[in-house]
Amino acid sequence: MSDAILQKAAPAPLVALTEDEILFRDNIRQFAEEAVRPHVKEMDDKGVFEHSLLDQFFQLGIMGIETPEQYGGAGGSFFEAILAVEELSRVDASAGVVVDVQNTLVNNAFLRWGTEAQKKKYLTMLATDTVGAYALSEAGSGSDAFALTTKAELKGSDYVLHGRKLWITNGKEAGIFVLFATVDPAAGYRGITAFIVERNFPGFSVGKKEDKLGIRASSTCELILEDCRVPKENVLGEVGKGYKIAIETLNEGRIGIGAQMIGLARGAWEYAAKYAQERKQFGKPIADFQGVQFQLAQSATELEAARMMVYNSARMKDAGMNFVKEAAMTKLFASQVAERVTSLAVEVYGGYGFTKDYPVEKFYRDAKIGKIYEGTSNMQLQTIAKLVVGAK
């Protein structure tokens, strides 16, 4: 059989982009450069996300990428959502995570477990003008997510919620929260239930906004529930099945964090490669020194490998395949690569890289969260170990 026939018969690589996806990616890249980049430094300094950008996100359709058109969304794919997160994060990881949480966590939860009435109401809001947040973590339940203590008690036609949530991304801007509480603490994880909480519900308030090391423009807030009344029709999925929603949604979210990490790593690498051509020592650009060349080559190779893992996991999700192991590996490796690449970028800049007058120190700060949120690196290793070697 000739090489030409073999090439024609072979399936396209799982991670290859279609022409439509390339066009979509390039449009997001242009938008990030023109609309987001001018605000990056000020947003980071102030720790506040530029509200006009949120309006543009909705206008561009990237707050409801997978949402069907009947609910006001773009009717796109999970893979396209991942491309959007990557391209935004290349310019600003805070912008990337706003879009990531909206699409991979909040919208996905409604798409998979919402009733038709819930989809019609909330997916339409989330696609057109309302930011969403995903509220699972508490002060005493991080990696041990099912140790949550926020309680929900059915009283008449409402559930009454008491408790506090911590580390909630998009907390300041969100109008809709997918929030987890237990209807029966004695039942352990079998009591956990997902609720749809609107910001204006009685007894609900947003507390302290954290002053963070990185992704500073992305709001991370405490949520306070004091006799918060939630209509019982706002249970998402089934009562007592919130643990399933939490686990399965976070599996998808981990691919989104992988996209955020490769995006910001690429942004840092591009700055470092350019600076290496400009910075001269001993009479020539530092890019002419083999030591620098090899470090940039090594980081470019790792970044490409991480990108292939992210893309492959996203393709598997879209294809309806089991991607739990791949998602865990993707988040683990992409966050490791992001930390290494951004650290190298600071070193390439030398003393300048350690100052806020140059862009790479922000990428370095932004990268650190990748090993922590939506499942720490140790939790990813635990998941991988269970799936590949049967560890307990």
Find the CATH number of the domain harbouring 211: 2.40.110.10
The pLDDT-based confidence of 392 (bands split at 50, 70, 90) is confident
Q: At 218, phi and psi to the nearest 5?
A: -75, 125
Under a CB-based contact definition with an 8 Å cutoff, are residues 285 and 278 in contact? yes
What's the pLDDT score for residue 262? Answer: 98
Write the CA distances from 30 to 25, 84, 159, 331, 364, integer angstroms. Answer: 9, 11, 45, 26, 23
CA pair distance 285, 110, nearest whole angstrom: 53
Question: Residue 8 above 50 pLDDT?
Answer: no
More confident of the two residues 134 and 4: 134
- Note the Cα 352 to chain centre separation in Å: 30
**Radius of gyration (C-alpha) of the chain in whole angstroms:** 22
Write the CA distances from 314 to 82, 99, 239, 328, integer angstroms. Answer: 7, 16, 29, 12
What's the pLDDT score for residue 16? Answer: 85
Neighbours of 61 (CB within 10 A): 17
Does residue 155 share a domain with residue 260?
no
Does residue 140 share a domain with residue 124?
no
Write the CA distances from 43 to 192, 270, 315, integer angstroms. Answer: 36, 21, 33
CA pair distance 167, 30, nearest whole angstrom: 31
Residue 76, in any domain of the structure: yes
Does residue 378 share a domain with residue 249?
yes
Neighbours of 108 (CB within 10 A): 25
Question: Residue 30 above 70 pLDDT?
Answer: yes
Q: At 297, phi and psi to the nearest 5?
A: -65, -45
Question: What's the whole-number average pLDDT of the chain?
Answer: 95
Helix (H, G, I), strand (E, B) or coil at 69: helix
Does residue 77 share a domain with residue 173?
no
CA pair distance 197, 129, nearest whole angstrom: 16
Does residue 22 share a domain with residue 117?
yes
What's the pLDDT score for residue 142? Answer: 87
Q: Which of 190, 207, 240 is the last residue of a domain?
A: 240
Give strand pairing partners of 181: 193
Question: Residue 285 above 60 pLDDT?
Answer: yes
Residue 4, in any domain of the structure: no
Closest CA relative to residue 61, chosen from 51, 49, 76, 50: 76
Q: Tell me if the pTM is above 0.85.
A: yes
Residue 3, in any domain of the structure: no
- Percent of residues, the chain, with pLDDT higher than 70: 96
Point out the residues that are catalytic: 374
Under a CB-based contact definition with an 8 Å cutoff, are residues 147 and 225 in contact? no
User: What's the mean pLDDT in 242-252?
Assistant: 96
Question: Residue 25 above 90 pLDDT?
Answer: yes
User: What's the mean pLDDT in 289-293?
Assistant: 98
Question: Residue 228 above 80 pLDDT?
Answer: yes
The pLDDT-based confidence of 272 (bands split at 50, 70, 90) is very high
The pLDDT-based confidence of 238 (bands split at 50, 70, 90) is very high
CA pair distance 50, 40, nearest whole angstrom: 9
Residue 343, in any domain of the structure: yes
DSSP secondary-structure letter at 210? P
Under a CB-based contact definition with an 8 Å cutoff, are residues 135 and 164 in contact? no
Relative to beta strand 235-236, strand 280-281 is: unpaired
DSSP secondary-structure letter at 141? B
Residue 6, in any domain of the structure: no
Does residue 279 share a domain with residue 179?
no
- Percent of residues, the chain, with pLDDT higher than 90: 94
CA pair distance 66, 213, nearest whole angstrom: 31
Phi-psi label, residue 198: left if phi above 0, alpha if psi -120 to 50, beta otherwise: beta
Q: Which of 131, 159, 189 is the last residue of a domain?
A: 131
Q: Which of 99, 131, 163 is the last residue of a domain?
A: 131
CA pair distance 214, 219, nearest whole angstrom: 11
Residue 8, in any domain of the structure: no
Query: Tens digits of per-residue pLDDT, 302-358?
Result: 999 999 999 999 999 999 999 999 999 999 999 999 999 999 999 999 999 999 999
What's the pLDDT score for residue 146? Answer: 84
What's the pLDDT score for residue 1? Answer: 36
Helix (H, G, I), strand (E, B) or coil at 65: coil
Does residue 157 share a domain with residue 121?
no
Residue 309, in any domain of the structure: yes
Q: Which domain holds residue 78?
A: 14-131
More confident of the two residues 389 and 150: 150
Question: Residue 3 above 70 pLDDT?
Answer: no
**How many domains, the chain?**
3
Query: Tens digits of per-residue pLDDT, 171-212?
Result: 999 999 999 999 999 999 999 999 999 999 999 999 999 999
The pLDDT-based confidence of 390 (bands split at 50, 70, 90) is confident
Under a CB-based contact definition with an 8 Å cutoff, are residues 120 and 297 in contact? no
The pLDDT-based confidence of 14 (bands split at 50, 70, 90) is low
CA pair distance 32, 94, nearest whole angstrom: 12
Residue 63, in any domain of the structure: yes
User: What's the mean pLDDT in 216-220?
Assistant: 98
Does residue 249 share a domain with residue 221?
no
